[in-house]
């Protein structure tokens, strides 16, 4: 009888340890404060001004959990963010797991300055669905950063009618 009680007790203890260990593996391990930074690769323009109004981050594969970050909304001259210079666009807290996507919602005040002349810079769907960037980055620890390299040289297209359009080329560094 004592052997049966000891065996059942040992089985109960082992089962509890296994359940606790498995539940820790499956749950999120806390939260991460994530900073989204912006930098640029050089381009042959005087200015490339992008009106960033909001930064959203998706941390799930099913694209349902978008977190709107505290965004430093404003007009950013991408050409001032070159050669190792970056700026913090937004900060927010997400569950510690992977970041799947980032979305930049743009305002209407996007311009380009070429040869001293300022032109409007059109952005197809920039203010509606935003500029979406696939990431799939595993977050590490309680503080992490993503540096987004906005390549102005590859992103700006002059159309046949003399207007300029932004088709963003974005990379994660």
In terms of Cα–Cα distance, which of 38, 154, 172, 153 is closest to 100?
172
DSSP state, residue 78: G
140 is written with which tokens?
Answer: 């590490």
Check residue 119 and give its pLDDT: 96
Each residue's pLDDT expressed in tens, for the chain with a length of 173 residues = 444 333 333 333 333 333 333 333 333 458 889 999 998 766 789 999 999 999 999 987 776 778 899 999 999 999 999 888 999 999 999 888 888 999 999 999 999 999 999 999 998 865 567 888 888 888 877 888 999 998 888 989 999 998 999 988 888 87
Say whether 97 sits in a helix, a strand or coil.
Answer: coil
E-state strands within 12-81 = 31-41, 47-58, 66-68, 70-71, 74-77
Check residue 26 and give its pLDDT: 37
Check residue 124 and give its pLDDT: 81
What domains, with CATH codes, occur in the chain? 29-172 (2.60.40)
Distance (Å, whole) CA 75 – CA 121: 13
């Amino acid at each position: 009888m004592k052997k049966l009680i000891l065996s059942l007790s040992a089985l109960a203890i082992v089962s509890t340890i296994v359940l606790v260990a498995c539940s820790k593996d499956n749950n999120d391990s806390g939260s991460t404060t994530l900073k989204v930074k912006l930098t640029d690769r050089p381009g042959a323009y005087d200015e490339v001004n992008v009106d960033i109004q909001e930064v959203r981050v998706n941390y799930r594969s099913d694209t349902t959990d978008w977190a709107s970050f505290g965004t430093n909304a404003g007009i950013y001259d991408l050409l001032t963010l070159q050669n190792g210079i970056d700026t913090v666009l937004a900060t927010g807290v997400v569950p510690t797991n992977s970041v799947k996507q980032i979305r930049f919602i743009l305002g209407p005040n996007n311009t380009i300055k070429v040869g001293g002349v300022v032109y409007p810079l059109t952005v197809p769907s920039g203010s509606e669905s935003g500029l979406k960037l696939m990431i799939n980055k595993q977050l590490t620890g309680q503080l992490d950063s993503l540096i987004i390299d906005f390549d102005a040289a590859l992103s700006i297209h002059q159309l046949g009618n003399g207007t300029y359009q932004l088709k963003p080329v974005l990379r994660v560094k």
